[in-house]
Amino acid sequence: MTETPANKLTTKQQAILNFIRDHIQDKGFPPAIRDICDAFGISSPNGVMCHLKALQKKGHINRVEKQGNRQRAQARGITIPGVNAGGFSLPLRGVVAAGRAIEAEEQEERLELKDLFGGDDLFVVKVRGQSMVEGHIADGDYVVIKKCETCDNGDKVVAMVDRSMTLKKYHRKRDQITLHPMNAGMDPIPVDPAKQDVRILGVLAGVIRKC
């Protein structure tokens, strides 16, 4: 937007706007008021709200969140014209019991999937086949892999063997590598590093399954 004296930002307002923009683009959702307080050393949420109201009045942000039959402006409701959300997150609604029921507690947090699986240097591959079913990884699942070139015995890894990529349980003894399926009906894959090109692409960080 074109700056005029009426909508010109102070140094602090510009810094907060930049922070909000980066947060939306990186995480996929706007920061909470407490996030802005922490980032700028603002002790009172009211101080943040004053800056947000100024940014909204000057046309740099929109700040409306619908709740039931009424609307209430909150930090989580911030949008910036022309700024698209990146990343992927979902609302975190607390803990649910898989056994005896527990009392529900309302939360306003979000679950950022990149942070859940270990931050940067991640990639995802889709599983084809049933070789890892006893490791709770089924055909059609998506596995999140942490990039690395080394691993420990027992790690579940994505390995490249002579241009073929596979997900298996890794074991090395001296100069012999064995890639173990987690399916009693399938045989291990022996690999000779002296004769075959074998590389570790990453270690399993998590599994995503669509039901």
Interval 133-149: pLDDT, tens? 999 999 999 999 999 99
Label residues 47-84 b or e (16+ Cβ within 10 Å = b): bbbebbebbeebebbebeeeeeeeeeebbbbbbbeeee
Q: What is the pTM of this model?
A: 0.61
Q: How many residues does the chain have?
A: 211
List, by residue number, the catalytic residues.
131, 168
Q: How many helices (H) and strands (E) does the chain have?
A: 4, 13
Q: What is the pLDDT of residue 69?
A: 42
pLDDT mean over 94-110: 71
pLDDT digits (tens, 9 = 90+) for 108-166: 677 777 778 876 788 899 999 999 999 999 999 999 999 999 999 999 999 999 989 99
Q: What is the pLDDT of residue 72?
A: 44
The structure tokens listed for 190 are: 């022996």
Q: What is the pLDDT of residue 106?
A: 65
User: Longest Cα pair distance anywhere in the chain, in angstroms?
Assistant: 74
Element (H, E) at 160: strand 156-161
d(CA 162, CA 102): 51
The rounded mean pLDDT for the chain is: 85
Residue carrying the six token digits 């803990």: 95
Domain annotation for the chain: domains and CATH numbers: 11-86 (1.10.10.10), 117-208 (2.10.109.10)
